[in-house]
Amino acid sequence: MEMLTITAYKAESCNDSDKVGTEYTAQLNPTKYKKSWKTNSVEVKQANGLNLVMVKPADPEEISLDFTIDNTGVVPGGDVDIVTNIKSLKDMCLSVNDDTHTTNYLMLRWGALELKCKMKNFDVDYTLFNTDGLPIRAVITAHFKEHLDLGTMLEGLNSPDMSHFTEVRKGDSLPLMCENIYGAPHYYLQVAEVNGIIDFRNLTPGQKILFPRLEK
């Protein structure tokens, strides 16, 4: 049976040479996990019936996992120190790495799930104790956020489906820039409104202008 594993790395490339410590293997696989995505868009309604939609790449994926640690003897080979197990997970995922001065990059792997991420936080629900008051069963809910490297983020920003900024060059006019980007110059008033440009006839070289995606 394939078990959920969490591997820590000190560099975002997540190469084997950058591994930190020992891979964490869940004693029991998750009972469930949940993924969530969120888009980023702002719609500006225009009087002429056209809508300007400013679209940015979607936020990184987030995932939450629920899994159990059991030392009651019910689970075969279940001689697990609950406190030590949880501490090792916390140290791996949430402690600041001395070399990088940030928390470790993580790789989650289980079945079809493979995600490069960082842990946001985790909660522990202690559900059973022995006669000495020591926990012998705990349920962990761990929350992770996908880590996107700079190259992946730039790919998203350069997608034709995304809004983007263009730098004004000497001799540029807003109608000309709209012609180059949209294939029609007459969107200049909408672009000026989105950017808060009052005098669109006098653009400054080096000025950055947001050109939103157009939707009819």
Query: Number of structural domains, the chain?
Result: 2
User: Domain check: are 14 and 32 in the same one?
Assistant: yes
Question: 10 Å Cβ neighbour count for 136?
Answer: 20
User: Domain check: are 183 and 207 in the same one?
Assistant: yes
Strand partners, 213: 53
Q: What is the phi/psi pair of residue 200, to 5°?
A: -75, -10
Q: What's the rounded Cα separation, in Å, for the pair 125 and 33?
A: 16
- Are 83 and 2 within 8 A, CB to CB? no
User: Domain check: are 56 and 103 in the same one?
Assistant: yes
Domain boundary residue among 136, 154, 172?
Answer: 154
Per-residue pLDDT of the chain (216 residues; tens, 9 = 90+): 899 999 999 999 999 999 999 999 999 999 999 999 876 665 656 555 656 665 555 678 999 999 999 999 999 877 899 999 999 999 999 999 998 899 999 999 999 999 999 999 999 999 999 999 999 999 999 999 999 875 555 455 455 455 678 899 999 999 999 888 888 888 888 888 888 898 988 899 999 888 877 665
Which residue range(s) make up the domain with 193?
163-215
Domain boundary residue among 128, 154, 180?
Answer: 154
User: Domain check: are 133 and 168 in the same one?
Assistant: no
Residues of 73-99 as b/e, b for ≥16 C-beta within 10 angstroms?
eeeeeeebebeebbeebeebbeeeeee
Domain containing residue 211: CATH number: 3.10.350.10
Sequence-distant (6+) residues with CB within 8 A of 34 are 63, 64
Q: What is the phi/psi pair of residue 130, to 5°?
A: -85, -175
